[in-house]
Structure 1
Amino acid sequence: MSRFVISGPGGGAPNRLEIRTFVQHDKYFSLYIQALQLMYTKESQAALQSFFQVGGIHGLPYIPWDGVTGIPNPTWGGYCTHGSVLFPTWHRPYVSAFEQILWTRAQEVAATYTVDQAAWKAAATTLRQPYWDWAVNSVPPDEVIAKQTVSITGHDGKKKDVANPLYHYTFHPIDPSFPTPYSGWKTTLRQPTSLQPDATDNIARLRLVLKNAQSNIRSNTYNLLTRVTTWPAFSNHTVGDGGSTSNSLEAIHDGIHVYVGGNGQMGDPAVAGFDPIFFLHHCNVDRLLSLWSALHHGVWVTPGPSQRGTLTIPANSTVDTNTNLTPFYHTQTAFWASAGVPDTTKLGYTYPEFNGLDTSNPAAVQKAIAAIVNKLYGSAVFGVQSALVQEPAAAAQQPVAAAAPSAPSADDHHPTIQHAGHGYPRDWTARVEFKKFETGQSFSVLLFLGSVPEKPEEYITSPHFVGAHHAFVNSAASHCQNCQNQAELVEEGFVHLSRGILQYGKLESLDAEVVEPYLTKDLHWRAVKADGITPVEIPSLEVSIFSTPLTYPRGSAFPIAGNTNRHSGITHGRRGGSRELHPGNH
């Protein structure tokens, strides 16, 4: 039996482009739209390279892909490695498989052009899957979320309007494995208006939700890239942040899924892969893996628990850099492993941040990527114009190395920080912990500074909403052995509060004696289902507050974190608050 070998597209290793840049490139966009439509319709949903089958690798319909089976289990175990040290690396060949098929379809489209055919074929050769940088601009362009038709250049060189395959995927037919409400929806939906079969996208709410989460998303991304230094803390959302009080890549990824999907497919790992925005999202997740790896040269997959295993990974085993990333074949007889995927050029792509860099000089690459990260996301620390009060050795210090991101939003501007002579500013962070599968569906813990709206439907769009941690939960967990086996799994996430404290508290400093009474009075949280509206009880929930002093030594590209302190009294005694009363180091 011949296997689908993932070798990447042809044409060298050109850039994957950010979606806003991509939609402005007429040839790329025209080819992409048509190639994606071919993935939807050229073959039946049962065909190996159909969009449906590739999307189904991530979850339902829980059938083998490319004939890859494994350990006999009473219930299908699936291939998913969520909550594992393999989370970032497993998704790399997954996105590459999608990209390779898309690229092949683009060659077919280019061959139909009768005008300027050489240029169209050249464009098809360098076409790559675009990414959506939600940390720079959390609201995708209308070509992704709002336009049911888009304008492209057809094979005759003339403009024409065509159905937009980025807007929805239409099931043909709806797979019988889908539970409600997905069994009643003919297409994928984002922030659906209801759970009924006649539901539609709530595009206005989608925009509001994503815009209101912008500051939190950017802050999470900057702190991930600059303060998380170990692979376990970087890779997945299970407990263990390496002392950084910062989110993992997976935790940030989870939030984007829930913000986009709500009760729609993107909010549920069982069906998320069928929404075409999934691959824009995961392409950016992969890009962040590349950026973080460049900043932390030599740090890669370290051994970690498999929990109770998957379809192809034995229970109670250890996974590592040599574990097979099934079902993704590297050759006709061997699978990709994490050890083989650090260099993206082997899979036929790179990202714009690496253009012109000498990858044989890790120190130079690290310096260049650090400057880019500060430019794109550095305003997430305290604000664009943060002023730091310096201690007597002020000559040895420098301000935050942060330039305005390429697409700053209004919430980037905050009051100047004062510190009443107590030294450097502190990063205030809420740690949110819970049992992931406690409700049997995706949910969110939302944090507020100041008043909380009376109406739950206004929670996530409230101006006092400062961030959230999200559980990205498989609604078909009864069919997913990996999900069942992790029923008691506790995960953690972090919400950085300093920007919100400065914006809403109007405090004169971020020192503990000033911030503790403010947070005790004005910090609130609510737990809601993925729709962002329906309240839900999370018995295992624990919200704890930590602060970390940040210094800015000369020559350091990023803030340097000191010892983290736990401020248990801020939330202790409240439902879902800290169970520990005495303060201490994290």
Structure 2
Amino acid sequence: MTTQPDLDDLPARGPGIALPPYSYIILKSSNERIAAGSSVEFSALISGKFDLDRPKLDQAFHILPDGSIRLSNGKYTSPGHYEDEVDIGDNPYQWRILWSPKGYTIHHQNGRAWTFMGPNKPIEIPSEADPDRKEERQLIDFVLDAARPVESDDEPDETLQPIFPQATSKIIITGARLPRQFSGRGPPQFPQDVQSWPNRLGPLPARLEIHDFVKNEKFFSLYVQALKRLQQLPEDQMESYYQVAGLHGFPLVHWNQSNVGNGIYCRHATPIFATWHRPYVALFEQLISQQALEIAGQYKKDQDEWLEAALDLRQPFWDWARPGGAVPPDILISRSTLRIITPKGPRNVENPFLYYAYRTGDKSTGSFPPEYKEWTRTIRHPYSDRPIQEIRNYLTQAQEQITMHTHDLFEINDWEEFSNKKQTQTGSTSSLEALHDTIHVLVGVTDIFLVPYDPLFFLHHAQVDRLLSLWKTLHEDQWVSGPELTEDLTPFWNSNNSYWNSDLIRSHEVFNHTYPEYLDVKGDPRHHIRETINQLYGGSSNRVFKGLSHHSHITSWSIRFRIKPFVIRQSFSIVVFFGEVPKDPHSWFSSSDLVGTYDVFITYLPEDCDNCRSHEHEPIEGFVHLTSTIQDKIPHVREDQVPRYLEQHLRLGLRRVDGTVAKLDKLDFEAKVLSRRIKPATHRGPARFHVGEHTTHQFDIKHGVLW
């Protein structure tokens, strides 16, 4: 069997920056002018009014040939590492320079960015002294692109507008529907009305975990081909991968005749986070199923079997919570080709799980944030030189915390605490949404409004939906309540005249699928699901209770984080260490002192999102478990001495998704150490249960130290 090549082959460092002598670029905005200047003696970015003869070097940093930066005050940094401040006008900014195969990007902390890319070409810049006299100067080997479009009186360039046409029909979301009758000959005939759904034949097909899914050659072959066909559909088609991914955020266009807001429909940090995504995954599953049925009809050999497989095909899920499951299989992240059976026989085909390629250039990305406009495809860990290795390293290190958080989800008895990441009064473990954020951040997708373009998105969200189903089985009396219960889940229609809402989708079976845990259940399903959860995810908790009887109590320790979601204008991780924070943030996730991370997945342009603006000042919440670390690092310390050791040894760092760090003392957020008495699981009882309320230890955070 031929070994597939690994795609993690980018060079370790970008090319040097060499500014041609006496060249410069000027960027103008409302009250600010930034200039890049070059002379024989220096290359610098300079703030304030630009004067080639008298540059303001006290407000400049020099770009050296290797891409490093040296401030005029003598401070120095390498690409990707920069914590010191440069005053520009009246505002202190933290600048940093990052390299990717697309070019260099110079950022400052409030989210704006200037990206330099493209070939050398001459430009003409009017003289400040005499506007009629133009001096031709050589543009350095970059094209300047400001992060937010400058207001202009010019007519908009239609070639840069999104290509979505106004929909003339509706997609009714049903999930992958079974035919009323299927003989195996000819195209299947589908029921046309909701009332006929209960007449389906046999048990519901199950969504399979990806490791099991790939073992079914027909399922895998059909899914790969169906996914490729969706990705290749013209982007002006409503059923295309581009448009279905786009309804989650960018390109800010209405979809499916749902003219609500500005085209961003997703509902993060709300009680309907999980229920909104349920019909979203069902929509994708429905489109995959339609493509798979068409493909199955093209097989000449064993056509009946292929059609039967297409009828049973459902969206696979990626169980990142199962021990050893956090790192995706190679077929999802590194193999350039996949071996499948096509209607023409066995073939090696391009791997559609690696990325989605935008098909129409500027038309695809014209309304994307400027940092992403030049992208020709999706990129995981775009600021890394070794993106695949980072995915593996980060998720390997996070596995225990992910598994423990998943196991502890089932302790939560309240919908608000379980479903979303808003601050709660009694929470003791991370919510489903907070856990979901961790996976997105560690996989390396940088913005919440672009994440569905990554082909891992629907495998991840099928897992989120599965956990929702398992939790609901154990907490039958809990669900969305209040006005959100019947709130329209736009843009997902269930008929020509009405949308799905949370009240209608309490069971995953509404969308004509099930999960493996619900197959062949005998007796009380709650007992079966509880045993399954403990078997799958109870290992870490069992290690905590190792050697103790079921009557024993222990103290569980964790850090509770609360922070406003957009305090940093990009996704980020607060990284917890039992020891000093490593100086190089690229080594944080491989440090032996790493305890865990609290990960926040956001957009850096919340002003484009009505839902984001509605809760931008409301803190969100998440947890990092400390109990296993305490048992490993200080096993012989008495319980009453643990707080003192935690004060001495716990350290925090904040790492943005672009690899740079932020000073924690500049941020308004809370980190508190909590402890609570707990008992281990009984045979069919809760995963573990609390004895009394939690105790808050008043360690607050200053300069990355809990004290």
Alignment TM-score, normalising by the size of structure 2: 0.69
Amino acid in the other structure paired with 1:488: H
* SS of aligned partner of 1:487: coil
Alignment match, 2:51: none
More relative contact order, 1 or 2 (CA 8 Å, 6+ apart): 1
Partner of 2:421: 237
Aligned to 2:396: 211
Q: Deviations over 1:307-330 (max 9, x none)?
A: xxxxxxxxxxxx421111010001
Q: 1:419 maps to which residue?
A: none
Q: How many pairs are equivalent?
A: 509
Q: Which residue of 2 aligns with 1:354?
A: 518
User: 2:357 is aligned with what amino acid?
Assistant: T
Counterpart code for 1:472: F
Paired position in structure 1 for 2:275:
89
Contact 2:333 2:353 in 1 (8 A): yes
Q: Identify the residue that residue 55 of structure 1 maps to in structure 2.
A: 245
Supply the AA of the counterpart residue of 1:223. Answer: D
Take 2:681 and 2:368, find their aligned partners in 1: how far apart are those partners? Answer: 54
1:518 Cα shift? Answer: 1.7
Give yes or no for contact 1:450–1:504 (8 Å, CA) kept in 2: no
SS at match of 2:365: coil
Residues in 2 aligned to 1:236 and 1:366: alpha-carbon distance in whole angstroms: 23
Question: Deviation at 1:350?
Answer: 0.6
* Distance change >3 Å, CA 573–CA 161, structure 1 → 2: closer
CA deviations over 1:29-65 (Å, ceiling 9, x no partner): 1100000011011x31121100010001111011111
Judged with a 3 Å threshold, the aligned counterparts in structure 2 of structure 1 residues 160 and 553 are, in CA distance, closer, same or farther, namely closer
For residues 504 and 382 of structure 1, the distance between their equivalents in structure 2, rounded to whole angstroms, comes to 18
Task: Kindly provide the amino acid, as one letter, of the partner of residue 272 in structure 2.
Answer: L
SS at match of 2:311: helix
Over 3 Å counting, the alpha-carbon distance change for 1:553 and 1:116 in structure 2 is closer
Separation (CA, whole Å) in 2 of partners of 1:272 and 1:543 = 28
| Counterpart secondary structure, 2:472 | helix
Measured against aligned partners, the alpha-carbon deviations of 1:375-411 in whole angstroms (never above 9, x if no partner) come to 00001225277122x5xxxxxx46xxxxxxxxxxxxx
CA drift at 1:145: 0.5
Residues 520-559 of structure 1 aligned to structure 2 (within 5 Å): 520-537=647-664, 539-552=667-680, 556-559=685-688
Between the aligned partners of 2:470 and 2:272, the Cα distance in structure 1 is: 17
CA positional deviation for 1:289: 0.2
Greater share of strand: 2
Q: Residue 322 of structure 1 corresponds to which residue in structure 2?
A: 486
Name structure 1 gaps, 5 residues minimum.
195-199, 304-318, 391-396, 399-422, 582-586
Residue correspondence of structure 1 range 469-480 to structure 2 within 5 A:
469-480=598-609
C-alpha displacement of 1:10: 2.1
Corresponding residue of 1:316: none
The aligned amino acid for 1:503 is D
Aligned to 1:308: none
Name the residue aligned to 1:482: 611
2:442 equivalent in structure 1: 259
Q: Aligned in 2, Cα 1:270/1:89: closer, same or farther, shift over 3 Å?
A: same
TM-score by length of 1: 0.83
**Do the aligned partners of 1:260 and 1:267 also contact (CA within 8 Å) in 2?**
no
Q: Where does residue 5 of structure 2 map in the other structure?
A: none
Cross-structure match for 1:46: 236
Who is 1:457 aligned against? 586
Q: Are 1:377 and 2:537 matched, yes or no?
A: yes
**1:110 CA displacement:** 0.7
Q: Is contact 1:544-1:577 (8 Å) kept?
A: no
1:231 and 1:299 in contact (8 A); partners too? yes
Q: Which amino acid aligns with 2:630?
A: I
Q: Compute the displacement of 1:502 (Å).
A: 1.3
Q: Does structure 1 residue 249 correspond to structure 2 residue 435?
A: no
Q: Which residue of 2 aligns with 1:408?
A: none
Aligned identity (percent) is: 34
Q: Which residue of 1 aligns with 2:358?
A: 171
Pair 1:286–1:84, CA change in 2 (3 A):
same
Cα drift, residue 201 of structure 1: 6.3
Which runs of structure 2 are paired with 1:491-530 in the superposition (5 Å)? Answer: 491-507=620-636, 511=639, 513-530=640-657
Deviation string 1:501-560 (CA, Å, 9 cap, x unpaired) is 112223356x2x131122111111111102344335451121100011112475634321
1:463-484 deviation line (CA, Å, top 9, x unaligned): 2212111221112323222223
Does the 8 A contact of 1:77 with 1:481 survive in 2? Answer: no
1:178-198 Cα deviation digits (max 9, x unpaired)? 12332122111112245xxxx
Partner letter of residue 379 of structure 1?
G
When Rg is computed on C-alpha atoms for both structures, the one with the higher figure is 2
* Structure 2 partner of 1:26: 217
C-alpha spacing 1:102/1:553, structure 2 compared with 1 (3 Å) = closer
Match of 1:335 among 487, 499, 506: 499
Q: Which moved more, 1:517-526 or 1:459-468?
A: 459-468
- Per the TM alignment, residue 151 of structure 1 is displaced from its structure 2 partner at its CA by 0.5
